[in-house]
Chains A and B, each alone.
Chain A
Amino acid sequence: MFNLTNVVMEMNGEMDANGGRRTIMQIRDLKKVFNGTVVAVDGVTFDVYEGEIFGFLGPNGAGKTTTISMLTTLLRPTSGTATVCGFDILKEPNEVRKRIGVVPQEYTADEDLTGYENIMFCADLYGIPRRISRERADELLRLVELEVAKDRKVETYSGGMRRRLELACGLINHPRVLFLDEPTLGLDVQTRAAVWQYIRKLKEEYGMTLFLTTHYLEEADALCDRIAIIDHGKIVKIGSPKELKDSLGGDVIELGVQESDDDLTPLISSVQHVKEVKRVSPSEYRIKSELGEVTAPMVIDALRSKGYRVNKISLTRPTLDQVYLELTGKSIREENGDRTQAMRQRMIMRRARS
């Protein structure tokens, strides 16, 4: 308990170091235990800064949706605290609800109603006066390009259109934080790209903070300002995609030289940015370095100046996949390795959540 206070104090100090960015969400030791035994979220602590896109990555059952459910006041945490826009999720849930938008994993729009009716329904839930909500609904439907289809029943919409409608509904109250739970799940590649384009456009338009979970590492890499990787209910790593990738030790340069008995390791090590050199074979070296694209030519120059010829070179940049693999011990695509176990876990979780 006491070190919690310290964490907060430290955070205060870190504010300036973060380029003056304000903290919009503070999550402190948040924990959720279902039925007294299933630990879904095991004490997570992190901050989300105003205006950033914060990504939550992790395998199925890692606790992503449970965390989002707690932050959006749908689930009560077993212990721990969190504030969203300065309001405690337990003490002032209604103040939180007024300031957030939620785009859930499921398609929640009513199939029997039209797109326009659905968005107006959302507006009414927030108590937005008709005069304003009509204007906003038109504006949002234009932004997600559903104007033409707005008077059609939602049952005639495609997956991408429904996703866009959900986005528009989630934005009707002009939220300060928008929660997106797997916003591109089950969509094909092109639709995914389009949905992301809308999300980015909407973010620019409304200048809000985005908190999202996703399965797609490339997306997280390309879009998120910061990423938290969660596994077994715990945050294993948090940072910008670059930081996460750099944590693997930087780029890998593989070098082939004309065979010689000289060990070139000391020479290569002396080059700037080089962190680690390993002689794989008499003619092959494996170099870990930062800024690989700058370092590689410098290594070549250094070797040439001593009369060695480089005849092969390759540069590999670490991907988020590798980070993920290293941290969670499994590739995001192969996470259902033990299918029965995964299935049982999902069933437990589903039942526990209901």
Chain B
Amino acid sequence: MSDLTTAEANKNLVQPAGGIPAPGDKSNSTIISSSPYHGLWALTNRELKKWYKNPVILLLSLIQPVLWLGLFGKAMNFGAIFTDGAFSIPGLNIPKEIINQLGTMLMLNVFGTTDYFSFLAVGMLSFIVLFTAMFSGMSIVWDRRLGTLNKVMSTPVARGSIVMSKILSSVIRSLVQASIILVLAVLLGMNISNITAIGVLGTFASLALLSFGFSAIFLMLALRSTNQNTQMAVVNLLNLPLLFGSNALFPASFMPEWLQAFVKINPISYATDIGRQMLLGAGGMGTLAFDFAYLTAFAAAFSIVGIMLSWRLLTK
């Protein structure tokens, strides 16, 4: 009861000070936009500027997937097992055509495409998205340590925009990097006979959704963290299980049942599946509609939770 009186008294007492500017006070000329999204682009742009102004980081981040693509994709030449004269059974004279036919069928059956390199190239697109998203949490840890986060929070920028800008910049970075990987893969011999504009657009849409979800998850993990080492440890702990527990490197049919079950809930599998269906014309593990629905739900759920947590956790 008395609380209320105090609050009212405060208002009455101070309100005039807010209304009438003192002489020489220029604050009344301050124009502040009322849009709740102001600052979102400024924050996103800041992240992007730091990134594209430092091409070394971009190059370094591309090295790993390109190495995987080059070494893994070219060395694991599964197709070669079954091609001309790859093997012969003593006493049986199997015509080469039959062996080749058999090989093609086996490859199509297991990988959905006749060459492993193309199969892996699509998987690498998801890989680069996952890696970029994992490190998106690091920037918020740095911002907190350097005091930048506090500085931003003392401005009227919406708390949700702070998290959203980090997610957006991570999505944009991922897509740029994925484009570069795709071009490199084509140059290295990826099968492009089935590529269409719609296929490329659909693939990138799925990658964007994947990036949204994962960036939100890793940002949430970093919201209260002040220690970049913890964040690094979490990233190292999760990256390989997430990658190998998906169909990005190998088809799920290779795997034991318990791992297949994990592949089925891992969103990376769905983004990769979309890519393989739309870029390579391969048969997938689900329909395109289901894959997209799954990824959309994944992205939406974690972005919303991320924004809600940012309201709670950013202000202590």
Range of interface residues on B (Cβ < 8 Å): 35 or more
B93 within 8 A of A: no
Q: Please, how many angstroms separate the alpha-carbon atoms of A148 and B226 in the complex?
A: 36
Decide if B3 touches A26 in the complex (CB within 8 Å): no
Q: Please, how many angstroms separate the alpha-carbon atoms of A23 and B14 in the complex?
A: 6
Nearest to B19 among chain A residues (CB) is: A86
Range of interface residues on A (Cβ < 8 Å): 35 or more
Of A127, A206, A354, which contacts B35 at CB under 8 A? A127
Given A86-B14, A174-B26, also A8-B155 (CB < 8 A): no
Q: Please, how many angstroms separate the alpha-carbon atoms of A31 and B33 in the complex?
A: 33
B31 within 8 A of A: yes
Decide if A122 touches B30 in the complex (CB within 8 Å): no
Decide if B13 touches A26 in the complex (CB within 8 Å): yes
**Binary B-proximity of A1-42 (CB < 8 A = 1, otherwise 0):** 110110011011001000000111010100000000000000
Q: Please, how many angstroms separate the alpha-carbon atoms of A176 and B32 in the complex?
A: 14
Decide if B10 touches A8 in the complex (CB within 8 Å): yes
Decide if B156 touches A76 in the complex (CB within 8 Å): no
Decide if A207 touches B25 in the complex (CB within 8 Å): yes
Q: Please, how many angstroms separate the alpha-carbon atoms of A76 and B33 in the complex?
A: 25
Closest chain A CB from B41 CB (angstroms): 7
Decide if B46 touches A110 in the complex (CB within 8 Å): yes
Residues of B contacting A23 in the complex (Cβ-Cβ under 8 angstroms)? 13-14, 17
**Binary B-proximity of A87-130 (CB < 8 A = 1, otherwise 0):** 11000001001111010111110101100010001101111110
Of B6, B147, B156, which contacts A104 at CB under 8 A? B147
Closest chain B CB from A95 CB (angstroms): 8
Of A8, A75, A206, which contacts B9 at CB under 8 A? A8
Of A5, A169, A207, which contacts B23 at CB under 8 A? A207
Q: Which of B47-55, B170-178, B253-261 contacts A (4 or more CB under 8 A)?
A: B47-55
Closest chain A CB from B256 CB (angstroms): 42
Given A5-B2, A24-B14, A176-B27, also A113-B154 (CB < 8 A): no
Q: Please, how many angstroms separate the alpha-carbon atoms of A112 and B52 in the complex?
A: 11
Residues of B contacting A28 in the complex (Cβ-Cβ under 8 angstroms)? 6, 10
A60 within 8 A of B: no
Q: Please, how many angstroms separate the alpha-carbon atoms of A94 and B7 in the complex?
A: 18
Residues of B contacting A175 in the complex (Cβ-Cβ under 8 angstroms)? 27
A295 within 8 A of B: no
Residues of B contacting A129 in the complex (Cβ-Cβ under 8 angstroms)? 31, 33
Closest chain A CB from B140 CB (angstroms): 13
Of B10, B15, B154, which contacts A102 at CB under 8 A? B154
Q: Please, how many angstroms separate the alpha-carbon atoms of A73 and B153 in the complex?
A: 8
Closest chain B CB from A201 CB (angstroms): 13
**Binary B-proximity of A174-187 (CB < 8 A = 1, otherwise 0):** 11100000000000
Nearest to B16 among chain A residues (CB) is: A22
Given A5-B2, A108-B151, A208-B27, also A354-B226 (CB < 8 A): yes
Decide if B38 touches A127 in the complex (CB within 8 Å): yes
Nearest to B226 among chain A residues (CB) is: A354
The A-contacting residues of B in range 146-181, CB under 8 angstroms, are 146-148, 150-157
Of B3, B43, B50, B316, which contacts A353 at CB under 8 A? B316
Residues of B contacting A108 in the complex (Cβ-Cβ under 8 angstroms)? 146-148, 150-151
Closest chain A CB from B139 CB (angstroms): 11
Q: Please, how many angstroms separate the alpha-carbon atoms of A81 and B8 in the complex?
A: 12
Of A72, A132, A174, which contacts B154 at CB under 8 A? A72
Q: Please, how many angstroms separate the alpha-carbon atoms of A34 and B16 in the complex?
A: 35
The B-contacting residues of A in range 48-86, CB under 8 angstroms, are 50-51, 69, 72-76, 81, 83, 85-86
Residues of A contacting B14 in the complex (Cβ-Cβ under 8 angstroms)? 22-24, 26, 83, 85-86
Closest chain A CB from B257 CB (angstroms): 43
A213 within 8 A of B: no
Q: Please, how many angstroms separate the alpha-carbon atoms of A30 and B150 in the complex?
A: 20
Residues of B contacting A94 in the complex (Cβ-Cβ under 8 angstroms)? 156
Decide if A132 touches B31 in the complex (CB within 8 Å): yes
B18 within 8 A of A: yes
Q: Please, how many angstroms separate the alpha-carbon atoms of A125 and B41 in the complex?
A: 9
Of A22, A73, A81, which contacts B315 at CB under 8 A? A73
A214 within 8 A of B: no
Q: Please, how many angstroms separate the alpha-carbon atoms of A121 and B152 in the complex?
A: 10
Decide if A354 touches B144 in the complex (CB within 8 Å): yes
Nearest to B40 among chain A residues (CB) is: A124
Given A98-B32, A124-B42, also A86-B18 (CB < 8 A): yes
Decide if A102 touches B29 in the complex (CB within 8 Å): no
Given A23-B14, A124-B39, A129-B33, also A99-B150 (CB < 8 A): no
Decide if B22 touches A74 in the complex (CB within 8 Å): no
B90 within 8 A of A: no
Decide if B50 touches A174 in the complex (CB within 8 Å): no
Given A4-B6, A124-B42, also A110-B33 (CB < 8 A): no
Q: Please, how many angstroms separate the alpha-carbon atoms of A316 and B22 in the complex?
A: 40
Decide if A174 touches B2 in the complex (CB within 8 Å): no
Decide if B31 touches A26 in the complex (CB within 8 Å): no
A173 within 8 A of B: yes
Of B10, B22, B29, B152, which contacts A50 at CB under 8 A? B22
18 further contact pairs, Cβ within 8 A, besides A127-B156, A207-B25: A4-B2, A12-B9, A28-B6, A74-B150, A76-B316, A81-B6, A85-B14, A102-B150, A102-B151, A106-B146, A106-B147, A106-B150, A125-B42, A126-B38, A128-B30, A128-B32, A174-B30, A175-B27
Give 6 closest A-B pairs by Cβ, nearest first. Answer: A106-B147, A124-B42, A127-B38, A127-B33, A86-B18, A86-B14
Interface residues of B (CB under 8 A from A): 2-3, 5-7, 9-11, 13-18, 22-27, 29-35, 38-39, 41-43, 46, 49-50, 53-54, 144, 146-148, 150-157, 224, 226, 315-316
Give me 5 A-to-B residue pairs in the complex whose CB atoms sit less than 8 angstroms apart, sorted by A's number: A4-B2, A50-B17, A81-B7, A83-B10, A94-B156
